[in-house]
Amino acid sequence: MDSSSSCIGLCSKPNVVIPYKNKLAPLFIRQGLFSLLPQETEHIYVIGIGSSRINGDSLGPFVGSLLKNSFPERLTVLGNLQSPLDAATLSPELSTFTFRKNSFIIAVDSVLGNKEVVNSIVLKDGPMVPGIGLGNKLPPIGDCSITGVVLENDPDLKNSLLCTDLNLIYTMATSIAKGISLTIRQYFKYPSDQQILLTS
């Protein structure tokens, strides 16, 4: 695996840990995000970090693609399957981007973690440092992060990122995208019948 194009991080100090098969995962994500959103938030950015060419590193781009057409007045998505933000493109893209005042940034990425949290979705307050799990040095990103722990943090397993089960990635991505959409719909008082994912 060419780690130079990957952004896998490490899972540490989680606020919320949710098993990826939990049917209530989107609701737990919404609840967690609500506890972190400042009252003055006027716009939300989702930064989908990762590669579209490596199964285990595609969680962020998957979430970006699921969300990219949703709530355009309140949500901006950077990074999707068509235009992924990997280790080579992340810093250059963000360095030219201006975030709106009173915005809140959610970083989404695949990560490596302890055996106990593998196959879990993790919500964490504060910025994440993408790429650290594969030895890449990238700047901290986000006001909070939502990550999918796809593998144990074990050097012998890192090549398994290439053949990570896409059902795991897609299930995590769908739950994360729904959780973010529910948050936006409720926080910005969209009608309750507003579709949470345009692709669902």
* Consecutive H or E run containing 181: helix 166-187
User: Mean per-residue pLDDT for 129-147?
Assistant: 84
Contact between 108 and 49 (Cβ < 8 Å): yes
Give pLDDT, residue 106.
Answer: 98
Give pLDDT, residue 3.
Answer: 42
Domain ranges of the chain: 3-187
- Cα dihedral across residues 49, 117, 25, 104: positive or negative: negative
Give pLDDT, residue 139.
Answer: 86
Q: How confident is the model at residue 200 (pLDDT cuts 50, 70, 90)?
A: very low
The CATH architecture assigned to 3-187 reads: 3-Layer(aba) Sandwich (3.40)
Phi and psi torsions of 154, nearest 5°? -140, 120
| DSSP-derived 3-state class of residue 111 | strand
- Cα dihedral across residues 131, 120, 152, 58: positive or negative: negative
User: Mean per-residue pLDDT for 3-7?
Assistant: 50
Between CA 178 and CA 180 the distance in angstroms is 5
Q: State pLDDT tens for residues 158-194.
A: 678 888 999 999 999 999 999 999 999 999 999 988 8
Phi and psi torsions of 183, nearest 5°? -60, -50
Between CA 60 and CA 109 the distance in angstroms is 5
CA 130 to chain centre: 11
Between CA 85 and CA 51 the distance in angstroms is 7
Contact between 33 and 141 (Cβ < 8 Å): no
Task: Identify which of 11, 26, 6 has the alpha carbon closest to the alpha carbon of residue 171.
Answer: 26
User: Mean per-residue pLDDT for 90-109?
Assistant: 94
